[in-house]
Structures are given as structure tokens and as C-alpha cells.
Amino acid sequence: MCLSVYPLPPSKIEEDHKKLKSLLNENSRFGKAVFDDPDKDHPIFDRKEFNELKILRRLKDKAYTQLGSSGSGNHFVEFGVVDINFRGHESGLPEGKYLSLLTHSGSRGFGANIAGHYTKVAMARTLLPRYAQNLAWLSLDSEEGMEYWIAMNLAGDYASACHHDIHRRMSDSLGVDPLAMVENHHNFAWKERMPDGRELIVHRKGATPAGKGVLGIIPGSMTKPGFIVRGKGETGSLASASHGAGRRLSRKKAKESFTKKDLRQILKKAGVSLIGGGLDEAPGAYKDIHKVMAAQEDLVDVLGAFYPRIVRMDN
């Protein structure tokens, strides 16, 4: 997740609605679609890891091609309004409302191929019954395990680079630099020191880091607010909070439960414009974000909210 807060008033969404929709189309790509820029310069491609591991050398061209693009499914690039409703925030932003850009994506085919490769290696090294094969592991004491750790961390940094490239493109098109940026990982693994002194690998699948003072973003749906949060470092949750509202309906069930007409009416009522997207991402497929936030008050402090207004997803 990555959020850019611009020194522009929320009224820009109504005043320049058509222009902002065009900017989303021009500066975002989803699924297999990529930018055809002749030069995608980014420091990530100078990383020594690309020369140290065979699989990373093989995947470098794919990573280069997909830089600045987003996946399909629930990934998005959207304009909205951030309401900063607290004082003393680390960014120095005064309380108020701002035009903002929020993105959700990952490490694209680069990360997926890394995960797939080392999953196969793990299955070959750790023989388990067929029903448990996907639980195969690689020890960090092994050569393959350390390779996976190095590759995974590079993929995480690449995911961040993709977000930054999207936000750079949008800032250039808007002709203004952001006042502040908030970014956080999820579906990732970290080495962390526990209060009792143990060092553990914490894997947050569907969860976001919420260490003491750590900023993050917990999104709702295409019509419901997301929240800017600051972690409390609650040890009982391994310093974690939810990644988002979470689904209440599977993708298949959502497609069976809503029609295109239903979605249009929901969007109109919420004052949200949608580019792309599908019934599997209908707002009704998600839990009530307000209830989700109320259930984790002991995990995070809410510092502000993001209200989506123009949403771009895969077609």
C-alpha cells in the first residue's frame, strides 16, 4: 500500500474530474499490460542481488518490463480525499482535507516467479504427504533457504519501487510534489526481535505491520474509507493489524450475488467513479470496515481517513 498526500484541495476532484480520470488511465497499467517507456531508470535494477543469484538474473528483464504496473484482482490506483484529523503527526501536516493518491499492488510476476521457484525447491527438499506438500519449508541455515530470503527481500523492495514509479508518474502529471507519503508492506516476512529476546520470522499474510509508532494504511473497499494508522506495538498480535476490511464473500459468490446494475447504483450513491473493476470486487463483498477498525482499537491509533472518489482497477 502507498499513499501520496498532495497540497491540493479536495474540490479538485469535482473541478478536474475528467482530467483526473484521464491521468489514472495514462499513468496506470494492470495485469499483463505494461508501460512501453524506452528507459525505466530506477536504482532497484542496480542491486547486486541481480548478479548473485541465477533466478534473479533470469527474472530481471521481466521486472524491468513490469515496473510501475499493478496486478489484477483487488489491486488498484485511485484518487480520493484524505482527512487528517489529528495533531502532531510525524509528517507535519496540519489538520485538514487533501487530494490524495492510494495504490495497492505487489511484486508482480517477478515476486510470483520467485515464490513459485523456491516452493518447488522446498517440496523437493522437504518430503511431506501430498495433502501437506504446500507446507514444505527451507531452513535459513541452508543455501536454498538463504537464497530465498535474499530474493524475497529484493522482491519486496521491487514492489515498493513499482509504487514509487506510479506515484512519480502521477506527481509529474499533476505538476506537484506530495506533501507526505505513507507506505507499508503486507503478505511479507520480517525478522523481528520479540520482547523475550527471541528472533522470529513473522509472516503477515493478510496483515499489516503495527509496531509501536509504525505508520500504515488499512483500506476498506472502493466505496468505503481506508484509514491511516499508527501501530501500538501490541505483542499479543505480534505487532500486527488487519491489512484491510477483509472479504465476507468469495469472488465466485460475489459474482453470483451482484449485478452490474447493482454495482452502478452502489457507486452512484457513494459518489465514486470506477474505471475497470468487476463484480468480484463489489463493495458488498467486503466486511464493514468500521466494525473491523473497532475490533482492533488495541492494535492501532487512527490518524486519518482516505475516501475513494475515482477508482482504477483491472478490466
Number of folded domains that form the chain: 1
User: pTM of the prediction?
Assistant: 0.95
Residue 51 C-alpha cell reads as 548478479
Categorise residue 295: left if φ over 0, alpha if ψ from -120 to 50, beta otherwise.
Answer: alpha
Which positions are annotated as active-site residues? 243
Vertex 83: Cα angle to 78 and 84 (nearest 5): 125
- Which of these, 259, 275, 267, lies nearest to 312 by C-alpha position? 275
Q: How far apart are CA 300 and CA 314, in angstroms?
A: 31
Crossing angle of the two packed helices 54-66 and 143-174, in degrees rounded to 10: 20
Kindly give the confidence (pLDDT) of every residue in the chain, 315 residues in length, as a single tens digit, with 9 standing for 90 and above.
999 999 999 999 999 999 999 999 999 999 999 998 867 789 999 999 999 999 999 999 999 999 999 999 999 999 999 998 765 456 566 789 999 999 999 999 999 999 999 999 999 999 999 999 999 999 999 999 999 999 999 999 999 999 999 999 999 999 999 999 999 999 999 999 988 899 999 999 999 999 999 999 999 999 999 999 999 999 999 999 999 999 999 999 999 999 999 999 999 999 999 999 999 999 999 999 999 999 999 999 999 999 999 999 998
| Domain hosting residue 215, numbered range | 2-312
How much helix, strand and coil, in percent to the nearest 5, is found in the chain?
A: 40, 25, 35
Phi, psi of 202 (to 5 degrees): -105, 115
- Count of other CB atoms within 10 angstroms of residue 149: 16
The CATH number covering residue 250 comes to: 3.90.1860.10
